[in-house]
Amino acid sequence: MRKPKLAVWKFASCDGCQLSLLDCEDELLAVAGAVEIAYFPEATRGVVRGPYDVSLVEGSVTTPHDAERLHTVRRQSRTLITIGACATAGGIQALRNFKDVREFTQAVYARPDFIDTLATSTPIKAHVNVDFELHGCPINKHQLLEVLAAFLNARKPNTPSHSVCVECKLRGTACVLVRGIPCLGPVTHAGCGAICPAYNRGCYGCFGPMETPNAPSLSRKLAACGMGERDLQRVYSTFNVGELPFREEAARHGS
């Protein structure tokens, strides 16, 4: 039987999510055994031509060229899975969506007229059909392996979309928010295993909004923990600011 062909594509991103695949260390051989790594420039120069059975797509669309390229990726991919906050929500670079990008290019580049960039950073789903979205900034490698194992064996991946709080409770962490430390866990999508609260820090919301977030209620609690209006605006304006529940909550706060 022919091994399924895997491709890994990069758009506007930091490469951290693709690195999660290389970071699989112990499981890397199993991955290489289960699929043919056909296109993965971060790992190998060898290129096997498409079409591909599974494409992992990292990054958001920020240039007209990328918007075009994404369609060619979609055409060559039987299954297209986005990995990470950039690909699923637009990433931290989606902060540009609320400002004038021309002003930025003029401030940063000596010859802004050479810069061909879009006014917005948008997720992959805004351009092409997406089969599955894996959240996280960066993604969790165990979840990546779970998603690959699920797709290769034609079953639904176990990547629950409830709050991070459930993961905190499974691991037995005493809630930091109830102990006075601001935490975004109640409005954040599970998947990281609730790492930060286990180290006495609040959740930063890396995995984006959970299935039914109630950010206004959480914000009242965060304010009671001492966060000011400006802090509240910022805390929702990070890697997943492109997701509506966070964007709207950020907009409700400010100076």
Partner 1 sequence: MNDHAAAVITHEGLGGLIAGLRAEGFRVIGPRLRDQAIVYDDIESVADLPAGWTDEQEGGHYRVRRREDAALFGYNVGPHAWKRFLHPPLLRLWRAERSADGMTVTATSEPAERYAFLAVRSCELHAIAIQDRVFLQGPYVDPHYKARREGAFIVAVNCGQAGGTCFCTSMNTGPKAEEGFDLSLTELLGDRHEFLVEVGSERGAALLAAVPHRPAERQDAAQAANAVARAEGNMGRHMRSDDVRELLLANLEHPRWDDVAERCLTCGNCTMVCPTCFCTAVEDENDLAGNAAERKRRWDSCFTMDFSYIHGGSVRSSGRSRYRQWMTHKLANWVDQFGTSGCVGCGRCITWCPVGIDITEEVRAIRGEGGSDGRA
Q: Which residues pair with 118 in a beta bridge?
A: none
CA angle, corner 59, sides to 159 and 65, nearest 5?
145
Six token digits for residue 147: 């998603």
Closest distance to partner 1 from the beta carbon of 185 (Å): 7
Give me the half-sphere count of Cα atoms (radius 13 Å) on the Cβ side of residue 251: 11
Q: Which x/- pattern over 4-43 shows residues binding partner 1 (rule: CB under 8 A)?
A: -----------------------x--xx-xxx--------
Under rule CB under 8 A, residue 196 binds partner 1: no
Is the CB of 2 or the CB of 155 nearer to partner 1?
A: 155
Is the CB of 152 or the CB of 195 nearer to ligand SF4?
A: 195
Residue from 23, 100, 103, 211 touching partner 1 (CB under 8 A): that is 211
Q: Which does 209 bind (CB under 5 to 8 A by kind): ligand SF4, partner 1, none?
A: none
List the beta strands (DSSP E) in 101-212: 132-134
Give the interface with ligand SF4 as residue ranges (CB under 6 A). Answer: 164-165, 168, 173, 175-177, 183, 185-186, 194, 197, 203
CA angle, corner 154, sides to 81 and 152, nearest 5?
65
Six token digits for residue 221: 């609690």
Residue from 44, 72, 106, 158 touching partner 1 (CB under 8 A): that is 158
**What residue number has its CB nearest to ligand SF4?**
185
- Helix, strand, coil % in the chain, rounded to nearest 5: 45, 15, 45
* Sign of the torsion angle spanned by Cα atoms 80, 85, 89, 95: negative
Residue type, 54: V
- What is the radius of gyration, based on Cα positions, of the chain? 19
Q: Which stretch binds partner 1 (CB under 8 A): 56-64, 74-82, 117-125, 178-186?
A: 178-186
Is the CB of 115 or the CB of 175 nearer to partner 1?
A: 175
Closest distance to ligand SF4 from the beta carbon of 67 (Å): 36
Asked whether the beta carbons of 124 and 161 are under 8 A apart, the reply is no
Closest distance to ligand SF4 from the beta carbon of 179 (Å): 8
- Which whole-number Å values give the CA distances from 128 to 29, 45, 79, 173, in the listed order? 31, 27, 12, 40
Q: Which does 194 bind (CB under 5 to 8 A by kind): ligand SF4, partner 1, none?
A: ligand SF4
Asked whether the beta carbons of 181 and 202 are under 8 A apart, the reply is yes
Under rule CB under 8 A, residue 178 binds partner 1: yes
What is the contact surface with partner 1 in residues (CB under 8 A)? 27, 30-31, 33-35, 145-146, 148-150, 152-153, 155, 158, 160-163, 165-166, 169-175, 177-180, 183, 185-187, 200, 211-214, 217-218, 220-221, 224
